[in-house]
Amino acid sequence: MIKNIFTGIREYAGAAALISKLKLWRYFVIPILISIATAIFIGLEAYVLSDNVGSYLSDFWPYETGKDAFSAVSNFIGGLIVLIIGLILYKHIVMALSAPFMSPVSEKIEAHYYGDVKHKHRQSTFMNQLFRGIRINIRNLIRELIITLPILLLKFIPIVNIFSTILLFAVQAYFAGFGNMDYTLERHYGYKESVRFVKGNRGFATGNGLVFMLFLLIPVIGIIFVLPLSVTAASKHTLELIHQEKQDIVYEK
C-alpha cells in the first residue's frame, strides 16, 4: 500500500515532459476552462454559505456562558465544512465534464508506449465518455460524502480533530485518483470492472490523488495545471497496470 502510494506520487516527475513531447497541451484547454469556471463558482458559493453554516452550528449551544467561544469555533468549522464539501464538488464536477477531453490524452499516451492498440479498446463516443464520467463521479461523490460527513463531526473533538484532517485528506485523495485513472480504464473495462480495478490499486489511486489535492492548495496555478499533470501521471501507470493484468490473464489461460 505505502509503496504504491509513493509510486502514484513519483509518476508526476515526468508528466510535464511527456505532455510536451506528445504535444498534449492543446487537449487541456477546455478542461482548464472548466476547472477555472467551476473553481470560481464553488468559491463564491463557499464565501456566501460559510457564515450561514457557522451561525447554524452556534445555535446548538444552549448556554450564555462560553457562547462567544463556541460561536468562534463554529464559524471556523462551518467555513471548513463548506470548503471541504466545495472541494469535493469541484473535483467531481471538473472530472465528470472533462472526461471526453481526457480520454484522447490517455489514448495518445497508450499509443506512444504500446503502439496502435485501438482494436483492443471498447468502442465509445464523446457522449459515451461524458455519461461514463458523470456516472462514475456521481457514484464517487455519494460515497465520498457518506464517508466525509461523519469524519467532519470529529472536528468538534480536541486532538482527534488532528487525525480527522489527515483522514479527510486521504479520502479526498483516493477519489481524486480514482477519477484520474478512469479516463484510461474507460477504454479497457466496463463500469463494474473499473471499480474493481481501482479498489485493487487503491494505493496508487491515493498517491496520485494526494498530489492532485496539494495542487489545489496553490492559488490560480493549481487549478490550471492540476488536470494536465495528474491525468498524465495517472494514465501512464494505469496503462502499465492494465497491460500487466491482461498479460497475467493470458498466461493463466
The pLDDT value given to residue 71: 67
CA nearest 8: which of 189, 159, 157, 213?
213
Task: Report angle CA 168, 8, 197 to the nearest 5 degrees.
Answer: 85
Cβ(155)–Cβ(164) under 8 Å?
A: yes
Residue-wise pLDDT for 64-89, tens only, equals 666 666 666 666 667 777 777 888 89
CA distances from 13 to 79, 111, 141, 174, 225 (A): 34, 20, 28, 19, 14
Distance CA(95)–CA(206), nearest Å, equals 16
pTM: 0.85
Helix or strand run (H / E) with residue 52: helix 29-58
Is the pLDDT confidence value at 3 over 80? yes
Residue-wise pLDDT for 99-135, tens only, equals 999 988 999 999 888 886 664 666 777 888 889 999 9
Residue-wise pLDDT for 121-171, tens only, equals 667 778 888 899 999 999 999 999 999 888 877 766 777 777 888 888 899
CA nearest 233: which of 196, 208, 197, 205?
208
